Structure 1
Amino acid sequence: MVGKVITKSKDITRVTLDVEEIPKKWYNIAADLPGGLPPALNPGTKEPLKPEEWEAIFPKGLIKQELSTDRFIKIPDEVRTALAQFGRPSPLYRARRLEKALRTPARIYYKREDLSPVGSHKPNTAIAQAYYNFAEGIEHLTTETGAGQWGSALSMATAYFGMKCTVFMVRSSYDQKPYRKYVMKLYGANVYPSPSDKTAFGRKTQAEDPDCPGSLGIAISEAIETAVGTPNSKYSLGSVLNHVMLHQTVIGQEVRAQLAKIDERPDRMIACVGGGSNFAGFTFPFIYDKLKGKNDARFIAVEPESVPSLTGCSSGESRYDYDFGDTAGMTPLLKMHTLGHDFMPDPIHAGGLRYHGMAPTVSALYDKGMIEAEALPQDETFAAGMLFTRTEGLIAAPESCHAIASAIRHAQECKRENKEEVIVFNLSGHGLLDLQNYATMLGM
């Protein structure tokens, strides 16, 4: 174990940090985006949204963060205490057995965000969002969830602060992943398959398509409708908006400290993307370092072939433009890479990546050529996940398998070119509640 003792040895398999080393500030990339972050627009006037126009769905503390251009924002002590309670800081591992199986000269590391009580990186922002709502006297939060990681995290966070929670879970995942909804209900949340009969928009969608598999866009619409129509309630979002991105930067800041302990610098940093939050949290602190000339890393966002919000721009499947974040058109207009807010994704097993748009911050970075993107087929990602299980002993979430598959591709490239590079990827969640998806894909 590597804690306070600093070592320069690359023979270390696991690098840990002490609780005192949990970051004390979030990093806000809006301070450093060339040209700034395009503002959210009022869909009626097409003018930049005023702070008070956000207040129907978000508390003032989070609105202030969303609109902030401060480079660093202090993490409240109450939030740091809760982060420690639920597993921070998380360890960094060297994937030695995977390297051996691939016969690559590359050194592969992965950040273990699967060790939280709900098995993903999502508590990093769920805790912060619940705290800021609780501090302003809000009693009830509503949200959407795809595969269930976000819904589980917010259910846990609201239980921690003594609040109520309502979750609209995309119907295809609700059916594919029944144990996720049991987790949410154990934390005291109400969970409904989306589209549901609990909202006007859900009933309208069901009437138009009784077999609709649902989408994150539809679930967001239902959650916002419920928040606006329920006393003392607000809406909570698991990805996309900048306050969510900055809450996740505890991940990258920890990775930076861990790599420094073993005298490593990343050449390639890889994470899956749906809305963009785990990729943002993992890479943004390093992008800040690159802007300061401290590294020359490549940053690679990996998405499903069937939901190509970034990579689809070259083929015309997607565009970089203002669009709604939900299907019903209830959100502000956000400038992002989008497949269109009415896009209905295939019911792939990586339910957390089935979103029509990409976070405005991630979209802006991609538009400016500061990050790269790849789209991978579902069968390759599951095969990569199986290899990871058999070498490293861990079962990764279907979403995280995209990062694993990309890391394998890049390690194989290093082998072909005889490059001894450092590849670091984010293991954003475990797949212990996704075993039926593995069984289906691998013919078990």
Structure 2
Amino acid sequence: MTTKTKRFFLPESEIPTQWYNIQADMVNKPMPPLNPATREPLKPSDLYPIFAKALADQELNQTDAWIDIPEAVREQYKNYRSTPLVRAYGLEKALGTPAHIYFKNESVSPVGSHKLNSAVAQAYYCKQEGVTNITTETGAGQWGAALSYAAKAFGLELAVYMVKISYEQKPYRRSIMQTFGAQVTASPSMSTKAGRKILTEHPNYQGSLGTAISEAIELAMSTPNCKYTLGSVLSHVTLHQTVIGLEAEKQMQMAGEYPDIVIGCFGGGSNFGGISFPFMRHNILEGKKTRFIAAEPSSCPKLTRGQFRYDFGDEAGYTPLLPMFTLGHNFAPAHIHAGGLRYHGAGVIVSQLLKDKLMEAVDIDQLESFDAGTLFAQAEGIIPAPESCHAIAAAIKEANKCKETGEEKVILFNLSGHGLIDMAAYDKYLSGDLQNYALSDEEIAKNLAELE
């Protein structure tokens, strides 16, 4: 009897030594972010007041395909990388599909998600520059948890603005951040001009990532020796996440297969880009035909129903103007449990790739995502984060198509995090208290019209 390999591991020596910068290989480069004051294309020096210089340089680098991973960052990666590539035999059996389903299990990191890949890098570059304090925002709390761990590892003080609805829904993520020594504030707060303005106009506002970003940037700009850090959307964040796909490439070789379809859930683009871009380079450079699918929530459908235009990355208009698919920086998302996927816009790289039809997007209802996550938990023994459930739902859709056609397609998705701190969301789902939120075309049009 032949034994089937379930999990594929790389030795520590095979952890990537470089990140992959897809901008260098793109035929159509992303349009330049604009300085909001001058409307001129952004220069790295425009970002130096907010970000560590090395990160600002990475953000606008469209020429170097490979960027070295500092040795101190690789040492931190060794605490949890490589993460396993797993063949989802249980899910395949439950679906009765001929498809071969694989997932990259990023939930095994110390903080339970992929976010640590960039948190460690950003903390390192801030420390190298002599920065002592950093600020950030967090939605569901996965990024805040990751950065609090990384800040402590490099001896930095961290202040986190956590979207108020998630601050209340996910108290244990807050506890994780505080355990690692971070200061956590519910956003919007009265501690910043941006927060006070929003609370004055909307006293019961439950927050958004756009608001939390405004507060975090304002604190960074007004605090000596302080820089702002970001968990998704921007190009340097996605760059750091490519360790996921680069490892998965080698692991798929170990499994003797190559993906026909690669899927990631989508909030701002870092975990989708992290799993996808290393494989996408073979489509761009060698003409491979892999499909790439970003799975976003129906309640925040910027890729499937948003508009491509220049927009701010935050609510108060502190960030550069980014060329992206957006629902408008004034978009107030529904209070869904996939808090990390409630961002109004998409990263500039992903936006350009979508325009060029190098990838596609699907929107998933909240209930469908939890149906998928529950089935996955029962079949594979891992309770996934609500965000990751969207990728699982998209993978199940593709696997079911294979069942109809009889095709043995190879499907790879990123399990971006586990849901063990999200059980309040599962409680609501199991008790029948969750509902789907759908935006009307009128609401989207009205929101975008306000930007003119």
**Match for 1:427: what amino acid?**
L
**Match for 1:48: what amino acid?**
P
Given the alignment of the two structures, is residue 75 of structure 1 paired with residue 72 of structure 2, yes or no?
A: no
Distance 1:180 1:172 in 2: 13
Give the equivalent residue in structure 1 for 2:238: 245
**Match for 2:69: what amino acid?**
I
**Match for 1:71: what amino acid?**
A
5+ residue gaps in structure 2? 433-452
Given the alignment of the two structures, is residue 43 of structure 1 paired with residue 43 of structure 2, yes or no?
A: no
Give the equivalent residue in structure 1 for 2:365: 377
Given the alignment of the two structures, is residue 65 of structure 1 paired with residue 58 of structure 2, yes or no?
A: yes
Give the equivalent residue in structure 1 for 2:442: none
SS in 2 for 1:226: helix
**Match for 1:207: what amino acid?**
T
**Match for 1:45: what amino acid?**
T
Distance 1:365 1:245 in 2: 14
Distance 1:184 1:377 in 2: 29
Give the equivalent residue in structure 2 for 1:151: 144
Q: CA deviation at 1:289?
A: 1.4
Equivalent position to 1:391, from 354, 369, 379: 379
Give the equivalent residue in structure 2 for 1:205: 198
Give the equivalent residue in structure 1 for 2:250: 257
Equivalent position to 2:348, from 360, 363, 388: 360
Give the equivalent residue in structure 2 for 1:429: 417
Give the equivalent residue in structure 1 for 2:317: 329
Alignment of 1:15-414 (within 5 A): 15-68=8-61, 69-85=63-79, 87-293=80-286, 295-312=288-305, 318-414=306-402
Distance 2:237 2:43 in 1: 19
SS in 1 for 2:286: coil
Q: Deviations over 1:336-391 (max 9, x none)?
A: 00000000000100000000000100111001100010001000000111101111
CA contact (8 A) 1:382 1:442 kept: no
Equivalent pairs counted in the alignment come to 430
Q: CA deviation at 1:83?
A: 0.8
Q: Deviations over 1:111-140 (max 9, x none)?
A: 000001110000000000000000000001
5+ residue gaps in structure 1? 1-8, 313-317
SS in 1 for 2:419: coil
Give the equivalent residue in structure 2 for 1:5: none
**Match for 1:338: what amino acid?**
T
SS in 2 for 1:126: helix
CA contact (8 A) 2:88 2:380 kept: yes
Q: Deviations over 1:389-439 (max 9, x none)?
A: 111000000000000111111100000011111011000000000001011
Q: What is the root-mean-square deviation of aligned Cα atoms in Å?
A: 1.0
Q: CA deviation at 1:292?
A: 2.3
TM-score, with structure 1 as normaliser: 0.96
Q: CA deviation at 1:74?
A: 0.6
Distance 1:120 1:185 in 2: 17
SS in 1 for 2:78: helix
CA contact (8 A) 1:114 1:429 kept: yes
**Match for 2:219: what amino acid?**
T
CA contact (8 A) 1:272 1:303 kept: yes
Q: CA deviation at 1:59?
A: 1.2
TM-score, with structure 2 as normaliser: 0.94
SS in 2 for 1:296: coil
CA contact (8 A) 1:144 1:168 kept: yes
**Match for 1:323: what amino acid?**
D
CA contact (8 A) 2:26 2:284 kept: no
Give the equivalent residue in structure 1 for 2:408: 420
Q: CA deviation at 1:10?
A: 9.2
**Match for 1:258: what amino acid?**
Q
SS in 2 for 1:228: helix
Distance 1:299 1:52 in 2: 34
